[in-house]
A = this chain, B = another copy of it.
Amino acid sequence: MSSPVGRDPLEPKAGRDTVRRHNLSLVLRAVRDSGEITRAGVSARVGLTRAAISSLVEQLLESGFLSESGKTFSGQAGRPGTVLKVARTGVAGLGIEINVDYVSVCVVDLAGTDRVRLVEHLDNRGVPPGQVLRRAAQIAARALTSAAEQELSPVGATLALPGLVSSGTVRQAPNLGWTRVPAEEPFAAALTALRPRLPVLPVRSENEANLAALAELWFGGLGTVRTFLYLSGEIGVGGALVLNGELLRGAHGFAGEIGHAVVVPDGAECRCGARGCLEQYAGQSAMLKATGIADANGTAAVAELERRARAGDERALAALDRAGLMLGRVLSGAVNLFDPAAVVLGGIYRPLSPWLIPRASAELSARVVSGLWPRAGTRLRPSSPAADAARGAASLVVLDVLTDPVSYGERAAAG
């Protein structure tokens, strides 16, 4: 599938192949980042000759990664070229977020567009992990059917999970009640059983806040910000650190766990076994309980909280003010420690941010010692609605394709 053009027989195959694979990735990413571009444009952008670019583009067209239209750019010097775009069919990524009270699945194409989205609200607390993974596989299988209707063929899947994930296993997810649960293999087996005729998808797993943070970096509104802290408000409170555009994973891959910072010493007992954790004061259940809303249906309940806050309901406003204060306490410590350029509030904190941000910002500007946290700034901000963990999960697969398209060539051509 990766027959290099005009290979010098004296040159070792491996070295030559490696360079060509790298260049194919450069060209594919140049087209992806440009949206639409001519071969001459790619040549200027990548810094290779027109002849080299033409050969690389041919291979990417044949393998189904690029598409071409007759449109030419006027105003360009030289022979008018046809316009290249990344293919909107073929290779794609599958992302599955399993959270405490919902499962969200999406399929992302090479351009990074969310092409299929399927969300089901189900309470996963107390449900055996195997059953949760099988239900998630059922939803994923339905998403694959929708993807096939759009001629999209996911070449890999990423599971986004609300806990500490390493080597394919959920080490701990207190709000799901999972401890040392293998996730990748049972999910892959369930999906394969449901879609036996499709190729077996490689499945990986990752912390959901990490994936949401990557989605924010890639698709959100952060502009030039490349170092930030991401908070994901759900039943639990997840977090992720991004340093210079890369996830900061720490020594064991567990960095970013902000939900169990102490905000009330000797306070309420937490599912992690300790007391007074942030989750007990700024988590979804805590805010709903303080407002007097039943916690049975997560999304509807959060919408109800938002509605009441908008209507000026005193209990709702007090609950959100208290959650904002607690968030501000923990965030000021995290900002002093990590010195991010921005803090992004995702998950349920996004719709609730108009009520959370004022109090949290006041706490931040009082406590951030660098004096770099002006009260009226935009450094504490809601996440972008276009960026969530499922999209980040699917995009991680697409990133692999962009990094080494040759490995995915056959499937794309077949797809």
Contacts of A369 in B (CB 8 A): 164, 172, 174, 254, 257, 260, 272
Q: Does A171 contact B (CB under 8 A)?
A: yes
Contacts of A171 in B (CB 8 A): 370-371
Cα distance A330–B262 in the bound complex, in angstroms: 8
What is the minimal beta-carbon distance from A193 to any residue of chain B, in angstroms? 33
Cα distance A252–B338 in the bound complex, in angstroms: 10
Cα distance A370–B333 in the bound complex, in angstroms: 20
Q: Does A366 contact B (CB under 8 A)?
A: yes
Does more than half of chain A's interface fall in helix, strand or loop, or is it mixed? loop
Closest to A277 in B: B367
Contacts of A261 in B (CB 8 A): 332-333, 336-337
**CB <8 Å contact, B332 and A257:** no
**CB <8 Å contact, B257 and A370:** yes
Give the contacting residue for A366; candidates B249, B273, B332, B333; CB below 8 A: B273
Cα distance A174–B258 in the bound complex, in angstroms: 27
Q: Does A122 contact B (CB under 8 A)?
A: no
Give the contacting residue for A372; candidates B254, B329, B370; CB below 8 A: B254
What is the minimal beta-carbon distance from A262 to any residue of chain B, in angstroms? 5
Closest to A272 in B: B369
Q: Does A264 contact B (CB under 8 A)?
A: yes
**CB <8 Å contact, A337 and B339:** no
Give the contacting residue for A341; candidates B172, B251, B367; CB below 8 A: B251
**CB <8 Å contact, B254 and A339:** yes
Encode A191-216 as 1/0 by CB contact (under 8 A) with B.
00000000000000000000000000
Q: Does A292 contact B (CB under 8 A)?
A: no
Give the contacting residue for A340; candidates B250, B262, B339; CB below 8 A: B250
**CB <8 Å contact, A262 and B372:** no
Q: Which of A236-295 contact B (CB under 8 A)?
A: 239, 241, 243, 248-258, 260-265, 272-274, 277
Cα distance A260–B363 in the bound complex, in angstroms: 12
Q: What are 19 A-B contacts with C-beta separation under 8 Å?
A: A172-B370, A172-B371, A239-B337, A248-B248, A248-B338, A251-B339, A254-B336, A255-B338, A256-B339, A257-B339, A258-B336, A260-B336, A261-B336, A262-B367, A272-B369, A330-B333, A334-B337, A337-B338, A338-B338
What are the 8 closest A-B residue pairs judged by CB atoms, nearest first? Answer: A250-B339, A251-B341, A261-B333, A255-B339, A257-B336, A227-B251, A254-B370, A254-B339
Query: Which A residues are closer than 8 A to B by beta carbons?
Result: 164, 171-172, 174, 225, 227, 239, 241, 243, 248-258, 260-265, 272-274, 277, 329-330, 332-334, 336-341, 366-367, 369-372
Interface contacts beyond A172-B369, A252-B339: sample of 9 additional A-B pairs, CB < 8 Å, sorted by A: A172-B370, A241-B337, A243-B248, A250-B339, A251-B339, A252-B341, A255-B337, A257-B370, A260-B333
